[in-house]
Amino acid sequence: MRLFTPEAMRAADAQAVELGYPSLLLMEAAGRAVAEAARAAWPEAESYAVVAGKGNNGGDGLVAARWLHLWGREVRVYAPEGHRGDAALARAALAAHLEIEPLEAVDLREADVVVDALFGTGLTRPLEGAWAELAERINAADRPVVAVDVPSGLPYAPHVRADLTVALAGLKPDHVFYPGRSACGRIQLAPIGLPPALLEPRELPELLDPETMRALLPSRPGHAHKGSVGRVLVVGGAAEYTGAPALAALGAYRAGAGLVTVAYPSDARVDPPLEAVRLPVSRWQDARLFEAKAEALAVGMGGGSGGGAAARAALKLKKPTVLDADALYPEVVKAYAAAAVPTVITPHPGEAARLLETGVGTVVQDPLGSACELARRFRTTAVLKGGPTVLCEPGRAAVNTTGNPAMATGGAGDVLSGAIAAFLAAGLAPWDAARLGVYLHGLAGDHLGRIGLTAHELAEALPVVREKLELGYLRPYWEAGLLSPR
Ligand SMILES: NC(=O)C1=CN([C@@H]2O[C@H](COP(=O)(O)OP(=O)(O)OC[C@H]3O[C@@H](n4cnc5c(N)ncnc54)[C@H](O)[C@@H]3O)[C@@H](O)[C@H]2O)[C@@H](O)CC1
Ligand SMILES: [K+]
């Protein structure tokens, strides 16, 4: 599954037409899918109001109105004059059944369900005047709303707030990023007949889905032992930060590491899990660091001002490494790139801004662009944490589809770094380890769900969600009909 920009969606649409696929069939499938989704979501609803715009989103709404009418529902349709192309044909087909009223006549009082077909991906600027008023009236009507493709007005304000959004052909940024996703309510993807080959353009970001993630899970053969399934060395901690390395170690174990060693300054009161090997060092250059048995490292968590020194020492081991928190300084990450050590960096927006020498606002405004700039500049796999977390490495990008705001809690990032390191240690390439770690970590957050969850609990939930993924129980949110965390 890919994340489509409106332009990419139009291009796929145009390619289908070039292949000879009649565009009217796409509109017919889209409108009918909306009608079917609405009927399934509110089976008791008898009366519908369809509020349609002047473009193809409106055309989809007119098709939906025809089907709802044919299924015996009371339908009032409001639309402006002047539809063109397929939308004009959809209008003509509907006009053979029903009177179409002007938008000025919109009356939502008798409607059990409102269909929002004002604007879709063709919106180029914020709604104003009568259009803005219409969106606000739909919201004020306090009726269930089904949005055609996207709630009208997004990504700007004002916009319609829907209970159900039927995403046509593919998912677009407003179905994935906030605040758009909150306005969508439940999201249901409707295939509308585009040839599958047009729906997987490799240059578009991948949306992490259970099927793809399941295939990445490292297998564990019957004769496995703790030295054969991946060993992790956590390097971090400082007098002022003691919990972070322990949480990373827990994350690594709970993601399946066979053995975890924690190296930390001997003057720090780091308290690794009982199961971990302790490696207190008097200084980071201590030769004992090189004795640790590990195939991958997680470096920098809770390193404080010594994080850079810790990372430079750890670099000498030349093993696949997750760099986090206090290791995330430009000179440090560049040193790893220069040494050609496979790395995954896991900054939050503040750390990403520090690496890119820009403001946090710039990072937050364009997470995908920022992650890709990190990947390009530092020749690394970049995991930019956020809602949602995005990933990039030169030539490819991905967006996570699990996780929720309850995960905004201290130590959650340390658990993630440990989990990614465990997958690196198990032999996964940085891109696969990062995607799987991020996906499972978010899934653990969704499993717990509640505000007030702790990092510790996130780690504890990893085996539970891993098992669910392994057994094939999971469906992506756009198929499962899950409500987005608002
Ligand atoms: N593969 C696809 O993507 C398909 C898309 N279809 C539908 O087509 C939609 C896109 O249709 P359109 O490109 O016609 O665009 P819309 O129907 O979203 O918008 C209509 C027109 O409104 C104008 N406009 C933009 N911003 C405005 C504003 N703030 N105030 C007033 N007018 C504004 C623009 O000129 C735009 O062309 C999709 O969202 C989807 O519903 C379907 O019909 C079937 C296939
Ligand atoms: K819409």
Annotation-wise, does 395 bind a ligand?
no
Ligand 1: which residue has its CA nearest to atom 3?
A: 9
Is the pLDDT at 485 greater than 70? The verdict is no
Please enumerate in sequence order all residues whose Cβ is within 8 A of that of 417, keeping only pairs 6 or more positions apart, or say none.
248, 251, 298, 300, 301, 322, 324, 325, 346
What local confidence, expressed as pLDDT, does residue 480 receive?
73
pLDDT tens-digit profile of 401-430?
999 999 999 999 999 999 999 999 999 999
pLDDT tens-digit profile of 326-375?
999 999 999 999 999 999 999 999 999 999 999 999 999 999 999 999 99
Give me the interface pTM, i.e. the ipTM: 0.97
Is the pLDDT at 310 greater than 90? The verdict is yes
Give the torsion sign (CA, 135, 139, 145, 147).
positive
CA distance 405 to 165: 21
pLDDT tens-digit profile of 95-130?
999 999 999 999 999 999 999 999 999 999 999 999
Annotation-wise, does 400 bind a ligand?
no
Is the pLDDT at 484 greater than 80? The verdict is no
What local confidence, expressed as pLDDT, does residue 247 receive?
97
Supply the mean pLDDT for the chain. Answer: 96
How many angstroms separate the Cα of 370 from the Cα of each of 14, 286, 347, 392?
30, 36, 11, 9
Share of the chain above pLDDT 70, in %: 99
Is the pLDDT at 241 greater than 80? The verdict is no
Is the pLDDT at 240 greater than 90? The verdict is no
pLDDT tens-digit profile of 148-195?
999 999 999 999 999 999 999 999 999 999 989 999 999 999 999 999
Is the pLDDT at 486 greater than 70? The verdict is no
In ligand 1, which atom is closest to the CA atom of 12?
A: 1
Please enumerate in sequence order all residues whose Cβ is within 8 A of that of 5, keeping only pairs 6 or more positions apart, or say none.
172, 173, 204
In ligand 1, which atom is closest to the CA atom of 26?
A: 44
> Confidence class of residue 291 from pLDDT cuts 50, 70 and 90?
confident
Domains by residue range for the chain, with CATH: 6-202 (3.40.50.10260), 210-480 (3.40.1190.20)
Q: What residues pair up with 13 in beta bridges, in sequence order?
A: none
The helix-helix angle for 455-470 and 430-448 (nearest 10°) equals: 110
Is the pLDDT at 287 greater than 90? The verdict is no
CB distance 123 to ligand 1 below 6 Å? yes
What's the 238 CA to ligand 2 centre distance in angstroms? 52
Tell me which ligand sits closest to the C-alpha of residue 145: 2
Ligand 1: which of 57, 83, 89, 172 to mutate, judged by most atoms within 8 Å of the beta carbon? 57
Residues with CB under 5 A from ligand 2 (ion): 116, 147-148, 152
What local confidence, expressed as pLDDT, does residue 285 receive?
86
Is the pLDDT at 213 greater than 90? The verdict is yes
The pair of three-digit structure tokens given for residue 94, joined into one six-digit string: 């509907």
What local confidence, expressed as pLDDT, does residue 90 receive?
98
